[in-house]
């Protein structure tokens, strides 16, 4: 799944390589998928995009928003898989869930992995969409300051028990983060996934905030994670520290064997020595 850094890498590439292209035609896919979310019929979609020029693209959490002409915004969100700009039509995959063909004979396809939204809004209406509406500040927003983070943690702890992993992955508390970014954030900040958030000292909270910013920015600088692809199908250069391949291997800090647990709807990889409960 694309998390905030991958969405950012993709929209940056769109601004460089997609912006200005004129749409000749498109399609909402040739392969039905139970979890592909559209908000237009095929006919409506095609008539709205025809002849329109692609404008700027930007990221909001795990959502990518792209100007289509002056009146519409194309939205890809909560998705993962292959979002690829093809230099010509020869590399278009057999099955895809979204396609744009451009007047210069290039094309954009999205083949979703598990699920994903591919929706076309009247410009601005996407702000009323669930998940985008009322989105809290993301780690790339200026508002995501130390003070904001401390207030957020305080508010969460006053309304019930919550773990570190829950803060990082649940309910879009920190929009854009997901199970992948969270693993390395917990490792570099020395926090166990199940650790009670209320038990963290000021110093630990500072380190957790720093680690969120550090990991997100590092992944962006390196063009995404090594298990995700960019707009040209190239794997990112950020090597995940704590992932499935790390299980049983020595922790890069202390040499202890990395362990795996299932917790909060996904696997967690952690060092039992560096990440104490």
Which residues lie near Zn ion (CB under 5 A)?
Answer: 251, 253-254, 256, 271, 273-274
Q: How far is the CB of 187 from Zn ion (least distance, A)?
A: 8
* Residue corresponding to tokens 């912006």: 19
Q: Which is nearer to Zn ion, 171 or 256 (CB)?
A: 256
d(CA 92, CA 240): 29
Q: Which is nearer to Zn ion, 65 or 186 (CB)?
A: 186
By CB atoms closer than 10 A (0-12, 13-18, 19+), residue 260 is: middle
Q: Which is nearer to Zn ion, 33 or 260 (CB)?
A: 260
Q: How far is the CB of 246 from Zn ion (least distance, A)?
A: 11
Q: How far is the CB of 274 from Zn ion (least distance, A)?
A: 3
Q: Which is nearer to Zn ion, 44 or 256 (CB)?
A: 256
Q: Which is nearer to Zn ion, 216 or 271 (CB)?
A: 271
103's enclosing H/E stretch is: none
**Is the separation of the CB atoms in 197 and 164 below 8 Å?**
yes
Terminal CA-CA length for the chain: 28
Q: Which is nearer to Zn ion, 88 or 256 (CB)?
A: 256
Q: How far is the CB of 197 from Zn ion (least distance, A)?
A: 21
Q: Which is nearer to Zn ion, 212 or 271 (CB)?
A: 271
**Is the separation of the CB atoms in 35 and 115 below 8 Å?**
yes
* Cβ neighbours for 241, distance < 8 A, ≥ 6 positions apart: 183, 184, 187, 188, 252
Strands 107-112 and 81-86: antiparallel
Q: How far is the CB of 3 from Zn ion (least distance, A)?
A: 24
d(CA 47, CA 45): 6
Q: How far is the CB of 104 from Zn ion (least distance, A)?
A: 51
8's enclosing H/E stretch is: helix 4-17
* Residue corresponding to tokens 């209320």: 198
Q: How far is the CB of 272 from Zn ion (least distance, A)?
A: 8
* Cβ neighbours for 186, distance < 8 A, ≥ 6 positions apart: 164, 165, 168, 192, 193, 242, 268, 270, 275
């Amino acid at each position: 799944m694309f998390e905030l850094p991958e969405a950012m890498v993709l929209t940056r590439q769109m601004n460089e390589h997609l912006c200005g292209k004129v749409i000749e035609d498109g399609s909402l896919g040739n392969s039905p998928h139970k979890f592909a979310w559209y908000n237009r019929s095929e006919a409506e979609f095609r008539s709205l995009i025809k002849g329109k020029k692609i404008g700027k693209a930007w990221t909001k959490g795990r959502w990518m928003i792209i100007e289509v002409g002056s009146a519409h915004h194309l939205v890809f969100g909560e998705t993962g898989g292959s979002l690829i700009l093809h230099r010509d039509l020869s590399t278009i995959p057999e099955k895809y869930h979204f396609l744009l063909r451009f007047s210069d004979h290039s094309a954009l396809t999205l083949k979703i992995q598990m699920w994903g939204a591919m929706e076309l809004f009247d410009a601005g209406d996407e702000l009323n969409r669930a998940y985008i509406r009322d989105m809290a500040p993301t780690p790339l927003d200026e508002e995501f300051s130390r003070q904001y983070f401390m207030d957020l943690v305080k508010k969460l702890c006053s309304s019930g028990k919550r773990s570190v992993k829950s803060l990082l992955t649940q309910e879009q508390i920190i929009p854009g983060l997901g199970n992948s970014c969270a693993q390395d954030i917990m490792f570099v900040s020395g926090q166990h996934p199940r650790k009670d958030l209320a038990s963290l000292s000021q110093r630990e909270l500072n380190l957790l905030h720093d680690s969120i910013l550090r990991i997100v920015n590092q992944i962006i600088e390196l063009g995404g994670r090594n298990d995700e692809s960019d707009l040209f199908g190239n794997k990112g250069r950020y090597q995940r520290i704590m992932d499935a391949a790390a299980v049983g291997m020595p922790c890069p800090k202390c040499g202890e064997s990395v362990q795996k647990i299932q917790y909060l709807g996904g696997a967690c990889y952690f060092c039992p020595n560096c990440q104490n409960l």
